[in-house]
Chains A and B, each alone.
Chain A
Amino acid sequence: MNLALLSSEIAIVVLAVLLICFDLFMPHRETRRSLGIVAACGVLAVLVHSFTQYGTVGTVYGDYFVVDHLALFFKQVFLTATLLTILFSFGYVEKFTQNKGEFYALLLFALLGMMIMASAHDLLTVFIGLEIMAVVFYVLVGFDLENIKSSEAGIKYLILGSASSAVLLYGISWIYGFTGSLLFKEVAANMAATPAILMGLGLIVAGFCFKLSIVPFHMWAPDVYEGAPTPITALLAMGSKAAAFAVLLRVFLVAFAGLKLYWAPVLSVLAALSMIVGIVVAIWQSGIKRMLAYSSVAQAGYILSGLLAANAAGVKGMLFYIVLYMVATVGAFAVVVAVEEHSGSDAIAAFSGLAQKSPLLALVMTISLISMAGIPPLAGFAGKLYLFIAIAAQGYLWLVVIGFVMSMISVYYYILVVKAMYTHPVQDDRVLTVNGPLKLVAMVSLLATLFIGIYPEPLAELANAAARALW
């Protein structure tokens, strides 16, 4: 067994345990920012280390845990997302009254769950990774004990999440029962379109769609996104979703590749529903976190549509989109955190006149939102282009038309926020201060969105290399 392949996961576990120990011996009055810095540095180190892993591709624990380009790609996405989240949550964590230190350790455990999902090559490992991540998120969503909404969101997420896990596990048991294996490759080898296996497939689709917040399994998302501490909302939108997609790719394109005829129509309808519902309901939201929640429902629909192409071009489009969505989301949520700290509210009205108070934050928010809407020359445009071209080539022109129309409509509510920031009067004359790490995250998001949009080829090439690992 080649332990070097597990080095990233081991490092994250060690780091998380160390953080808990440090926290234990720290005086109570300490702000725990130092823990955050240690966590950020550690994650950064693992991220850098992961680039050296591109040479050593292989499997561990038999075939149950695979490290290939696809897994590495996703791990880097998770590591980056977690790193940026840690960086912009320093200020936010300080307002918690207790358990500040555990926050960072829990983030790392969630990261561990995601990384296991990226490498999982059988249904049980998938489930273990998923549960590690999900349980940690149940805790983190309800982490802000002072805030009743946070607790409510935590409970809701716990109940609905457990139900969906049960559905997923039930589906897995059907598949195991009728193919005799949990390994993706063996499942694929024993695949047949029997009712029992279709039953299992349907249950697994339902279970994943919950994690992806695909309509009609999305109803938890707005409530949870709104109630959760904002950095956790960001990580839910970026990491949890991307992790579910990492698994989805292997499950549908390896294990269930033979049943494409059956799952493709279902998923295409779900993707279309997500785009439509996510976008038309987002129009009505007055809170930015709820708005971004619905927007993330729609974005999940866009990403899911790439799966229908069931080829390298489609997967490349999905991976590309996942990265650009992460980059835009981290920018948007960093700004939300800053505004929330300043005004204590996440209503869109709280963004009035932000351009005068902090031109940088307003610019970052604008660029992030417009990139999500898919306007050139920003990253979102290139992402939608890759996705649409891939699925149109496979005959899903109707889905492209829906996606196209919906992204036009989505511009409306994104621009509403921009309008508030640039044209509405400033509401109070308090100075908005932004701490260094948050500013750094905002700048990184801004530059990355611009860079990917203007010069998409490097990321597209990286995504392409990762996508080819599936075939």
Chain B
Amino acid sequence: MFSQYALDHAWLIPLLPAAACMIIGVFLRRLPVLAATAAIGMSLLSFILAAGVAAGMFAQGITIEQPLVYKIPWLTLPGLAVDMGVYLDPLSVMMLVVVTLVALVVQLYSVGYMHGDEGFGRFFSYISLFAAAMLGLVIAVNFLQLFVFWELVGLCSYLLIGYYFHKISAREAAKKAFMTTRVGDFGLLIGILLLQFLFGTLDFQALPVQIPAYLVQHGSGLLTVVALLLFVGPIGKSGQFPLHVWLPDAMEGPTPVSALIHAATMVVAGVYLVARAFFLFSALPEAMAVIAWVGAFTACFAASIALTQRDIKRILAYSTISQLGYMMLALGVGSLTASMFHLLTHAFFKALLFLAAGAVLHGLPGKNDIFEMGGLRRKMPATFAAMVIGVLAISGIPPFAGFFSKDEILLAVFAVSKPLYAVAMVTAFMTTFYMARLLFVVFCGPEKSGQQAHEAPLSMKIPMAILGLLAIVGGYIPYTAGFGDWVRFGPAAHLAFDWKIAGSSTLLALAAIGLAWLIYGSGCNTAAVLARRSGLAYQLSYHKYYLDEAYLWLNHTLVDGFGKLLSWLELHVVEGILKGLAGLVGQLGNGLRKAQSGNLRVYGLVMFGAAMLMLLWLLFDPLLKGLLAGGGY
């Protein structure tokens, strides 16, 4: 059976793209057609395997409680045993399918989008490496394996954001992304080390067994600190406030990269980490509250920035941050199912939105500002259709994918906390508003672009069609197929449906679309008037609450100042000591070197002299010891 084969060979899923990366990097850098074929072929194989794994999971009844795990020892030392392996449960299998599917579609799209680019081979090599790293992260059996691949996806993100390295802004953005996520990774690493220290293992199967006993014995104080440290990693990687600043800048990378890495997969690694370690977080109410509030605040905060942005990809980036906040919020209120469901649908519709945005940018090269576009509906009907589907899906209009998952989150939040529910509803309203704004400004109204906009080629349309289809049915099908029976934490969570919440959120979305149409779509020039009237609020939002400037100031005063102090210390104190030490070592070496005269007699003398000394030591050492001890020899 293929599904059995797939289950047995799940380790191939990350290995195939890794092989593609190596092959392209070594042999096919200058051969674009073959490079793309290799990357896409490997992705396709890896998707087929992932699908086989999913089929096998359903057939064999692999559940959250009974995962299929196989592992090999990677490093065994006294007191430290680290394994590498494959962890298959509904959670990771869902991620495997999503990642391989989106990676495949985005690579197909890239063939058209990156056509004629100088670094075509390099692009496919990087993106294959990314797929490998992300898949390795998903199937990790312990925190260390997860961390290794976590860093590797960070590296790929860096390489791909800085893909157009001849542009200063791209280089700066890559650095910013790397440094900012580093801050998060540092917390994560300390958390992981503390876990190893406390429990002596990092294994995802062993830890859940030990944690309840630990909590009974020692209380939750220290463990909460560990959990919060672990959560710092996701704050960085998944763009949660206050480490979200890198994600909008990451849009300097090619658009397919934004779709794959900075919307659908890598940025959800943080959400996945929290879900994977839910056995830890869910046992600590304080940590859960922090996650919920960080998520809710990020969602609302990022949405309020997206309201006024003008760069098409930046709007989507803030939207991604906001939606990631939504997922965190769902985790924080204890609903792993809702969070993962939203992760699934979001991967489809956000990738779709990015691909559509990419098609717009491809058709109108050199323009990023949505207010310079306008009226593209007629020139780019397919892209328009894709964008409409994406906007309706993210807005939560039934029966599109976002409706089901968003509703699930709202329901879960409503059950836990009313203030959080209010924040979530406001965010939902803003989300729909800014997405509708984007849609109306770019595609409706009179044509502003003097140049000839053109529709995307077929190789870009097909991926958009696939994702469009998924953005339509990607919510309803899992909903009816019992998503909550498989992906859950604790007892089976049947996806519930509440007419009040579903109805009110749909009405709110429709109202937001209507408002956006009034301001941006209807043709009366209310947008500029509004911007002028709302003054301070508009400026705050447009300048992203001046957070970047604040960080810059912080960097310049605190970090640079501290750096100067350290530099002085380094120059005058540390270097003096080190130079002295180095000089000493050098002198010692020089002296010993001089003994090496090349004279055979000297060599012989040293050799026999040393032998004599050694003999004397061996013979007289016991004698001396005996005398000292007072005994005879």
A residues adjacent to B (C-beta < 8 A)? 156, 159-160, 163-164, 167, 193, 195, 198-199, 201-203, 205-206, 210, 216-217, 219-220, 222-223, 262-263, 265-266, 277, 280-284, 313, 382, 385-386, 389, 393, 409, 455-457, 460-461
Contacts and interface: CB of A to CB of B under 8 A. Distances in A.
* Closest 3 A/B residue pairs (Cβ): A280-B589, A206-B611, A216-B610
B74 interface: yes
Given A199-B619, A262-B622, A280-B588, A220 B77 contact: no
Nearest to B597: A219
A216 B606 contact: yes
Given A216-B607, A280-B592, A283-B589, A195 B619 contact: yes
A281 to B, nearest CB: 5
22 contacts: A160-B600, A160-B603, A199-B618, A199-B619, A202-B618, A203-B611, A206-B614, A219-B595, A219-B596, A219-B606, A220-B603, A223-B598, A262-B622, A266-B614, A281-B596, A284-B586, A284-B589, A385-B77, A393-B78, A456-B75, A460-B76, A461-B73
B512 to A, nearest CB: 51
B593 A193 contact: no
Interface string B63-82: 00000000011111110000
B603 A457 contact: no
A203 B618 CA distance: 10
Interface in B614-630: 614-615, 617-619, 621-622
Nearest to B588: A280
A167 B608 CA distance: 9
A198 B623 CA distance: 12
Interface in B566-611: 585-586, 588-590, 592-593, 595-596, 598, 600, 602-604, 606-611
Interface in B190-206: none
A385 B75 CA distance: 11
A266 B617 contact: yes
B614 A202 contact: yes
B72 A167 contact: no
B607 A163 contact: yes
Q: Of residues A201, A217, A386, A461, which shows the largest number of chain B Cβ atoms within 10 Å of its Cβ?
A: A217
Nearest to B590: A284
Contacts of A222: 596
A202 B603 contact: no
Contacts of B609: 216
Contacts of B586: 280, 283-284
A280 B585 contact: yes
Q: Of residues A263, A280, A455, which shows the largest number of chain B Cβ atoms within 10 Å of its Cβ?
A: A280
Contact of A284 (B593, B595, B598, B614): B593
A219 B598 CA distance: 9
Contacts of A202: 611, 614-615, 618-619
Contacts of A223: 596, 598
B592 A219 contact: no
Given A262-B618, A265-B621, A219 B593 contact: no
A382 B72 CA distance: 17
Contact of B77 (A167, A219, A386): A386
Contacts of A456: 74-75
Contacts of A389: 77-78
Nearest to B598: A223
A281 B592 contact: yes
A164 B611 CA distance: 10
A409 B585 contact: yes
A265 B595 CA distance: 26
A456 B72 CA distance: 12
Given A195-B619, A281-B593, A281-B596, 16 more contacts: A159-B600, A160-B600, A163-B607, A164-B607, A167-B611, A199-B619, A201-B618, A202-B615, A202-B618, A202-B619, A205-B614, A210-B607, A216-B609, A277-B592, A280-B586, A281-B592
